[in-house]
Amino acid sequence: MLATATYHSWAISLSLLLIRVALGGMIAAHGLNKIFGGGKIAGTAGWFHSIGMRPGVPNAWAAAITEVGAGLFLILGLITPVACAGLVALMVVAIITVHRANGFFVFNAGQGIEYCLIVAAIAIGLGGLGAGNWSLDHVAKIWTFQPWVGLVVAAGVGIGGAFLQLAAFFRPSKVASES
């Protein structure tokens, strides 16, 4: 039987790995879908333009690259709070541009903010907890800051980055904002 401290360390590392792989895999798949699925970047760009993220093509590429990059970094546990900040930024932009008018629940018409809010909250929490012992951050001693620093990076850089992107690129049409 493992000593209690070893068991807890093992259980925490496994738990953090599961969270990182689930979040990272999910968001990377979204990014890959923007590039290779359905309408590809052109279709994603058209949709981005229609929701007010203009110009559509650079914003579609920015979203796809952020999703793939943040996802891979989360899976690897590499500069995890920064990867979490990318995920938070994506979710905040999605909430403001698409979901806020649709209420809370994801099953509402047009999907509410529930899913994006929970993903962002988990990413902020993971940023504070760090990647755990089964990560490149731990093995290579890449992210050695205190947990509060990771929490601030995930939340502050994520939310701040989202608002900077929205200020620079969110230009909803009058018709779209009135409906």
What's the pTM? 0.91
Residue 179's pLDDT band (cuts 50, 70, 90): very low
Tell me what pLDDT residue 174 has: 75
pLDDT, one tens digit per residue, over 107-150 is: 999 899 999 999 999 999 999 999 999 999 999 999 989 999 99
Instruction: For residue 53, give the amino acid letter.
Output: M
70 neighbors 27 (Cβ within 8 angstroms): yes
pLDDT on residue 5: 56
68, 141 Cβ separation under 8 angstroms: no
Domain count of the fold of the chain:
1
Is the bond into 55 cis (omega within 30 degrees of 0)? yes
In a domain, 1, yes or no: no
Cα radius of gyration (the chain) = 18
Where are the alpha helices (H) located in the chain, listed in sequence order?
4-36, 40-51, 56-76, 80-94, 114-129, 136-139, 147-152, 158-169, 174-178
pLDDT tens, position by position, 156-171: 999 999 999 999 999 9
Q: What is the mean pLDDT of residues 16-30?
A: 98
Q: What is the pLDDT of residues 68-109, one digit of tens each?
A: 999 999 999 999 999 999 999 999 999 999 999 999 999 999
pLDDT at 7 over 80: no
> What was the pLDDT predicted at 151?
97
Domain assignment of residue 156, given as a range? 12-174
- Which of 112, 123, 134, 121 lies closest to 84 in space, CA to CA? 123
The predicted pLDDT at position 144 comes to 87
- pLDDT of amino acid 3: 52
> Is the pLDDT assigned to residue 177 strictly greater than 50?
no
5 part of a folded domain = no
- Assigned domain for 43 exists: yes
